[in-house]
Chains A and B, each alone.
Chain A
């Protein structure tokens, strides 16, 4: 699997190089992901469908105060879920203002706590899912969209397409290696605070985000 990540990165770098070569007279700064993966390019869908999302860390959590999951249209409330860290192609994680590929864990949209760029390490909150559920939940990038506009029907369709593609869920071994101590926290503020430690560990360059999540705590 590490080889495939490496190959993906090499391919991506190649695409960047091609993009730069194509615009020799134009200075190009910081648009590598945008140049490599224009969201309205049909080829991008293929890139997303084959992109690896590797589990790195998984901690079940419980909230004393219920929270709302704003990352889908039906906005479910939740008091438990998983706090995950996943490894992805950094160029797919680079924030952009226009459409971004939605990250799914099984039949759930994942809340991205950090941006994962350039580390490629994303800290996620997956509501209403436990480790057992994770064992049957493929992790994948879906069609670029605003998560708040993703309907349950879209989620089901995206999951179906992924399953049809044969994208596997994380292996039991991977889950076992990634599993961390369960957390019980008061509210989302506390959960974000816990997440800030993971960001510091896995995507340490996001210092302003880390600091912001820790203010007053």
Chain B
């Protein structure tokens, strides 16, 4: 029995709830804008009484609806002994008296109905009291948000569907659900809604479903035998994607199982959180919504700055700051393509004079002093236009070549305590991004430590070449020193001079050169999500950084250009909660992973060691097992493995997961980085994306297997550049492969992610590429 004591408790809640007040003439009572509604417990009820202006307002609450004749009127309330009169306040200048009433999360309220009547003490009324019409609320169970990933793209092979966060505008959006994992959906007919995204609180306040696609909600039946048969196109590309300075328009997807047109208990939702279920993104290579103002300002010797900001900055709040430190022989006025693009999306960009010619120490000093000076004195620029708009706790440093090393060194000096900025600290830097950086200072000083770190590499770079003969010219060193979240983008056919806009040559050598204009298109489409992800926590931006280029890239990216190849790495930081299966840094024998898992293999010529080409050329050598690897210099410690697949139908590399580490059910992805090894005959015999399969075995012997090529792409062949010894093929380029663990359970109710026994990489003609020489590193389970 639902006792009135509980209702009294609720009425007490009403009594002490936050009160706002006000008025009009005819009194009218609404609960969440309605006269009658069902409301889940644990949510907040909005009560609004409208009548005359500045009148005392009360609310009467009862368990009986009435009507009762009183004061010569028929009143919509029972007026039983349990009735409460809630003192309120005065109606406001619009005649409104409003309350927000939190409803306790007390399950004994479920099914109970309360009736309310508003009363205004109105001298103009014949009896001095203006009674409203009645309103009622019936309490329901809190919606059990069955949250699931729903939106994505069909795949031609297992796992048959790729759940994603971002879609390019104009691309279809599909929904798939594995009925074995969500049995409440199996066999059911339902309506699938794509709605404007809301957070959980907004959903609780307004669960009404309004589909925003051009053809409305889709009525479907989940009676297919497998995931593919339960996949439906819910939008054909009609959804808008331009959201001003924000990347992507957010949408939630709801499977309305009970067909009531509301998100209610038992329905399935992709969303119901601060992050939308999906985002549709416009062409981010094109300028953003804001006109841009640029000014060159001189704060003093080596303090010249080229600054870009949205022209309408006065109407904007605090904006993140991106600092650019140019390279040697370059100029701080050569980064318009970055400055204007980012400023058009609401960033402030400052490119400064960089003292690169003496060396990296002076370069890092000018990065530090210019950042300090800008934060301190930006009020001197453009008559103070930037005052109050610089978010000095959200800074990204981007440096080019010597400046690219300089930004890492600048952060290192702060961490080491050898330089203390006056107007910002280490925690205010959120990202360091180095474009083709040098590595003069080496392991201990050219070191981004625990800062989020990003690297750009042009494989045709004729200056910071990446050749094995010169550790100074090997940019990947800095990436592998990064201790936290790290990522990279490698661009075939791109030279050192393509990264700036100062004219002159591309400083490029190699086949299929891309050129400056095309490179800048790629840069615009990548640098925006890069800084938006790190400085604004933009959720859809992450897709541009983590999904393979072949699978997802900006609309305007030169994907059709056969010279353009883009390889991405993305490694989570330890603080993400990832689990490392093998990073090869400890337990350095080939039969034992760093996690303690036993390792067996029948791939050929497997070696584990430092990722450093041991001689001065990329020439193939039987004694140089790590030929083509430039991730380390001798003083670095980053390690990995390299091995061969020699035309056999099936060979493997197997991790015997320890039982204590076998519960993978709370992780999102199996992630690793891998590459093709340069100039080896096994690589050059077929120049194209290499693929293989990844198999999981659970403790009951159930097997599940996914090809790394299932999501588009694979492992790109090395850029076919000559020199640096004999042969063709430049340095080994790792790419990160992320396989969603949910993909391993598709269409298999028995497969148990909570009890993984073996992780098996399967190579050979049965599983993908017939042959190859491969490098591999950083086998991890990620949480996102």
Contact = CB atoms under 8 A, between A and B. Distances in A.
Among the interface residues A97, A111, A211, which one has the most CB atoms of the partner chain B within 10 A? A97
A100 B473 CA distance: 13
A117 to B, nearest CB: 7
A215 B504 CA distance: 23
Contact of B509 (A29, A111, A187): A29
B301 A188 contact: yes
Given A27-B511, A30-B505, A146-B359, A97 B297 contact: no
Interface string A53-77: 0000000000000000011000000
Contact of A23 (B300, B361, B509): B509
B331 interface: yes
Contacts of B333: 208, 211-212
Contacts of B495: 29-30
B176 interface: no
A28 B440 CA distance: 26
23 contacts: A23-B509, A23-B722, A26-B721, A27-B511, A27-B513, A28-B509, A29-B462, A29-B505, A29-B508, A29-B509, A35-B462, A71-B358, A97-B464, A98-B470, A115-B329, A147-B357, A148-B358, A187-B301, A189-B298, A208-B502, A213-B304, A215-B296, A215-B298
B402 A212 contact: no
B463 A215 contact: no
A161 interface: no
Interface of A: 23, 25-31, 34-35, 39-40, 70-71, 94-100, 111-112, 115, 117, 146-149, 187-189, 192, 208-209, 211-213, 215-217
B353 interface: yes
A146 B360 contact: yes
Interface of B: 296-298, 300-301, 304, 327-334, 353, 355, 357-362, 401-402, 436, 438, 440, 462-464, 469-470, 472-473, 495-497, 502, 504-511, 513, 721-723
B507 A29 contact: yes
A189 B329 contact: no
B362 A70 contact: yes
B723 A97 contact: no
B298 A217 contact: yes
Closest 3 CB pairs of A and B: A95-B329, A30-B505, A146-B359
Nearest to B464: A97
Contacts of A212: 296, 304, 331-333, 353
A70 B438 CA distance: 20
Contacts of A213: 304
B469 A40 contact: yes
A97 B436 CA distance: 10
B358 A29 contact: no
A115 B327 CA distance: 12
Nearest to A145: B359
B227 to A, nearest CB: 47
A209 B330 CA distance: 9
Contacts of A147: 357-359
A71 B362 CA distance: 9
Contacts of B505: 29-31
Given A209-B331, A212-B331, 10 more contacts: A26-B509, A29-B462, A29-B506, A30-B497, A96-B328, A98-B470, A146-B358, A146-B440, A189-B298, A212-B332
B452 to A, nearest CB: 24
B509 A208 contact: no
A156 to B, nearest CB: 19
A31 B462 contact: yes
Contact of A96 (B332, B463, B511): B463
Contacts of A215: 296-298, 304
A70 B360 CA distance: 11
A34 B462 contact: yes
Most A CB contacts (10 A, CB to CB) among B359, B401, B469 go to B359
Contacts of A40: 469-470
A26 B333 CA distance: 31
Contact of B507 (A31, A100, A111, A149): A31
Contact of A216 (B298, B328, B497, B510): B298
